[in-house]
Chain A
Amino acid sequence: MSAPPPSLLVEDLAFAYPDGHQALFGVDLRVERGERVALLGPNGAGKTTLVLHLNGILRAGRGSVTVAGLPVEKRSLQEIRRRVGVVFQDPDDQLFMPTVGEDVAFGPRNLGLPEPEVADRVAAALAQVRMSDAADRPPHHLSFGQRRRVAVATVLAMQPEIVVLDEPSSNLDPAGRRELAEVLAELPVTLLMITHDLPYAAQLCPRSVILDGGVVVADEPTPEVLSDARLLADHRLELPYGFSPAG
């Protein structure tokens, strides 16, 4: 029996925006099924541009993206968007339906699933993020941390191959940050997490990739990346005061 294909395979991906600004210069990244990888890098490194290629919002100028063996192409877009669940930074951008339950149901209904299965998936996804009580509430009644967890549930309901999180810990209070970490640590999916929060990367992701200037400049176990002071400094990454990567 052959091994399952990697959840994510990015090969020599290059991309320039229509205004000529080139954001990616040949990115290679392979994420195996079940891995948790942190994607680090300074602002403007091309992290968000890379993420928008993973579900085909942006189309590769050169190179390719493959999700669990399926190449990202125009005719595979609907299935690619089921396989790649992107959680955007601002939950108010992601949650637009009148209630939490309807919002979580939005993706599964787009897949054309029958109603009983939609209901099952909504219940399961909300349970996974510990927000089962909130199904009938409007999103704007929730705290910011709760809204972010619901945003995670909206992509879990698609039963994705890989979940991509853009700055999951930003703007959260310490308890909200910890609650989200507990939820993420238990998810049985492949995880790619963009973050500036290096302790969060250390806590959740055994492996870290640094993207800078549109290329991958480091791809190592997280403890090694975080203890390489020179590497971090070269790419405008900094550990919080008092934090020791060994501890």
Chain B
Amino acid sequence: MGAAHGGALTARYMPGGTAVHRLEPHVKLVSVLAFALVVVATPVHAPWAPVAYAGYLLAVLTAATVAGVGPGRLLRGLVVEIPFAAFAVLLPFVAGGPQVEVLGLSLSRSGLAAGGGLLAKATLSVLAATVLAATTEPRALLRGLERLRLPQVLVQILMFMIRYADVVGGELHRMRVARESRGFTGGGLRGLRVLGATAGALFVRSYERGERVHLAMLSRGYTGSVPTGPPAPVAPRSWAVALSLPLAAAAVLAAGMLAG
């Protein structure tokens, strides 16, 4: 289980009243997506690419500062990037073409650029997403996605995930306590078998809960869509504030292209 009070998913959210917190969720989503697109559109092999990455980093760190998201929170957000990072680090060793000597290792020049570019782009995008996650409540994000016309089915699946993460987590926790209360310590092949059975039981229980929830929804007139309230109007100023991040990045990109 996550934080005792907020629950597993809400723990990622940092309450606050900064300008970034106050922006409408769908406006922030558009902003982060646009920023990521500009970052990804940067040509990896251009000589000015590292300068552009530095410019983007400056832009996203400025946004994080305005939002009051500290370096610790940003670093924790980067954890999701580790599998990509591992792949990026491999590239200079496996790619072909002209080689370059670094600390006695023979590395591919184009592999270095590609790996470095991949790492930089992933890191910048994840940083922007971390700022979004830290300043927007999960359910507000959901409303934002809905407003951006993400299909209802996907929104509902995400909504149930947010709602039931703690319920299922609680169930898992009780099963663990019950297991350990009967002397189970885990480890070894037998431990894996027991954990497999636990996962199976948890799946069946969750499936049955899903059926009960569906029944309760039908009983209140559910016909396939979850109706929400009317969307709040968005001030043009919100768009201006939110889009300043991708626009700054686009300016960096344009400058690079003109200069290069």
Contacts and interface: CB of A to CB of B under 8 A. Distances in A.
Interface of A: 52, 55, 57, 78, 81-82, 84-86, 88, 90, 92-94, 96-99, 102, 105-107, 109-111, 115, 118, 138-141, 154-155, 158
Q: Which 5 pairs from chain A and chain B are nearest by CB?
A: A98-B139, A109-B227, A110-B221, A107-B220, A93-B212
A88 B212 contact: yes
Contacts of A138: 7, 10, 139, 163
B58 interface: no
B136 to A, nearest CB: 13
A90 to B, nearest CB: 7
Interface in B136-183: 138-139, 142, 159-160, 162-164, 166-167
Given A111-B221, A140-B166, A57 B215 contact: yes
B contacts with A: majority SS: helix
A7 B212 CA distance: 26
B220 A98 contact: no
Contact of A115 (B164, B217, B219, B230): B230
A155 B218 CA distance: 12
A63 to B, nearest CB: 21
Contact of B167 (A78, A97, A140): A140
Contact of A93 (B209, B229, B230): B209
A98 B159 contact: yes
Nearest to B225: A110
A78 B221 contact: yes
Contacts of A81: 218-221
Interface residues of B, number: 30
B221 A102 contact: no
Contacts of B213: 93-94, 96
B7 A140 contact: yes
B227 A96 contact: no
A94 B162 CA distance: 15
A99 B163 CA distance: 9
A85 B160 CA distance: 22
A111 B167 CA distance: 29
A contacts with B: majority SS: helix
Contacts of A105: 229
26 contacts: A52-B215, A57-B219, A78-B221, A81-B220, A85-B220, A88-B215, A93-B213, A93-B215, A94-B213, A96-B159, A96-B164, A96-B213, A97-B226, A98-B142, A102-B228, A106-B226, A106-B227, A107-B220, A109-B227, A110-B222, A115-B229, A138-B7, A139-B163, A140-B163, A154-B220, A155-B220
B162 A98 contact: yes
Nearest to A154: B220
A99 to B, nearest CB: 7
A118 B216 CA distance: 19
B223 A110 contact: yes
A223 to B, nearest CB: 32
Contacts of A86: 216, 219
B220 A90 contact: no
Nearest to B226: A106
Contacts of B227: 106, 109-110
B143 to A, nearest CB: 9
Contacts of B160: 96
B75 to A, nearest CB: 28
